Amino acid sequence: MSFSHESASKHVTGEAVYIDDILVNDQLLVGRVVYSPHAHARILSFDLSEAQKVAGVHAVLCHKDIPGANQMGPVVKDEPCLAADEVICVGQAIFLIAAETEEQCLEAERRIKVEYRPLDPILTLEKAIEHQSLLIPPRTMLRGEPDKALSESEHLLKGELRTGAAEHWYLETQVCLAVPGEGNELTVYASSQHPSETQALIAELLGIRRNEVVVEVRRMGGAFGGKETQGNHTACWSALLAGVTRRPVKIRLCRDDDQKITGKRHRFLSRYEAGFDNDGMLRALKVELNSDGGCATDLSIAILERAMLHVDNAYYVPHCSVVGNLWRTNLPSNTAFRGFGGPQGIAVMETVVDRIARVLKKDPSEIRQKNFYGIDSRNVTHYGQTVEHNRLFLLYDQLMASSEYARRRKETDTFNNSHEFLKRGMAITPVKFGISFTTSFLNQAGALVNVYGDGTILVNHGGTEMGQGLHTKIQRIAAAEFGVSVERVKVNATNTSKVPNTAATAASAGTDLNGMAVKNAIDTLKGRIAESMALYFSEQHKGDPSRPDTLVFEDDSIRDSKHPDRTISFVEAMGMMFARQVSLSATGYYKTPGIQWDKARGWGHPFNYYAFGMCVSEVEVDVLTGGHTLLRTDILHDVGDSLNPLIDIGQVEGGYIQGVGWCTTEEIKWDEKGNLLTHSPDTYKIPSVQDIPKDFRVSLLKDVPNPNAIRKSKAVAEPPLMLGFSAWLAIKDAVSAVGNHDLEPDFSLPATNEVILLAVERIKDEVKARRGAGVEV
Residues with a known catalytic role: 718
CA distance 336 to 507: 9
The residues that bridge with 45 in the sheet, in sequence order, are 115
Shortest Å, Cβ 223 to ligand MOS: 6
| 283: contact with ligand MOS by CB under 6 A | no
| 468: contact with ligand MTE by CB under 6 A | yes
- Helix or strand run (H / E) with residue 621: strand 609-622
Positions 173 through 202 that interact with ligand MOS (CB under 6 A): 193
The residues that bridge with 155 in the sheet, in sequence order, are 276
Angle (CA) 639-644-649 rounded to 5° is 60
CA distance 629 to 423: 11
Positions 319 through 358 that interact with ligand MTE (CB under 6 A): 338
Positions 681 through 720 that interact with ligand MOS (CB under 6 A): 718
Closest residue to bound ligand MOS by CB: 225
Instruction: Point out which span in 50-58, 216-224, 257-265, 408-416 binds ligand MTE (CB under 6 A).
Output: 216-224
Instruction: Point out which span in 159-167, 386-394, 460-468, 628-636 binds ligand MTE (CB under 6 A).
Output: 460-468
Please identify, using beta-carbon distances, which residue of 338 and 637 lies nearer to ligand MOS: 338
CB burial readout 41-78, b (16+ within 10 A) else e: bebeeeebeebeebeebbbbbbbebbebebbbbbeeeb
400: phi then psi, degrees, rounded to nearest 5: -60, -40
Shortest Å, Cβ 597 to ligand MOS: 17
| 714: contact with ligand MTE by CB under 6 A | no
Question: Whose CA is closest to 754, among 626, 667, 654, 567?
Answer: 626
Instruction: Point out which span in 330-338, 701-709, 728-736, 747-755 binds ligand MOS (CB under 6 A).
Output: 330-338
| 507: contact with ligand MOS by CB under 6 A | yes
| 511: contact with ligand MTE by CB under 6 A | yes
| 337: contact with ligand MOS by CB under 6 A | yes
Interface residue with ligand MOS among 6, 172, 216, 228 (CB under 6 A) is 228
Tell me, letter by letter, the H, E, C secondary structure of 718-757: CHHHHHHHHHHHHHHHHHHHHCCCCCCCCCCECCCHHHHH
Shortest Å, Cβ 508 to ligand MOS: 6
Tell me, letter by letter, the H, E, C secondary structure of 179-209: EECCCCCEEEEECCCCHHHHHHHHHHHHCCC
Residues touching ligand MOS: how many (CB under 6 A)? 10
| 610: contact with ligand MOS by CB under 6 A | no
Instruction: Point out which span in 88-96, 337-345, 380-388, 627-635 binds ligand MOS (CB under 6 A).
Output: 337-345
Q: Which does 660 bind (CB under 5 to 8 A by kind): ligand MOS, ligand MTE, none?
A: none
587: phi then psi, degrees, rounded to nearest 5: -100, 160
Percentage helix, strand, coil, to 5, in the chain? 35, 25, 40
Neighbouring residues of 699: CB distance < 8 A, sequence distance ≥ 6: 402, 635, 636, 637, 649
Amino acid at 94: I
Interface residue with ligand MTE among 112, 223, 652, 668 (CB under 6 A) is 223
**Is residue 510 within 8 Å of 470, Cβ to Cβ?**
yes
Please identify, using beta-carbon distances, which residue of 340 and 728 lies nearer to ligand MOS: 340
| 225: contact with ligand MOS by CB under 6 A | yes
**Is residue 319 within 8 Å of 354, Cβ to Cβ?**
no
Shortest Å, Cβ 309 to ligand MOS: 14
CA distance 441 to 146: 32
| 338: contact with ligand MOS by CB under 6 A | yes
Q: Where on the chain is the footprint of ligand MOS (CB under 6 A)?
A: 193, 225, 228, 336-338, 340, 506-507, 718
Q: Where on the chain is the footprint of ligand MTE (CB under 6 A)?
A: 222-225, 338, 463, 466-468, 470, 505-511, 651, 654, 717-718
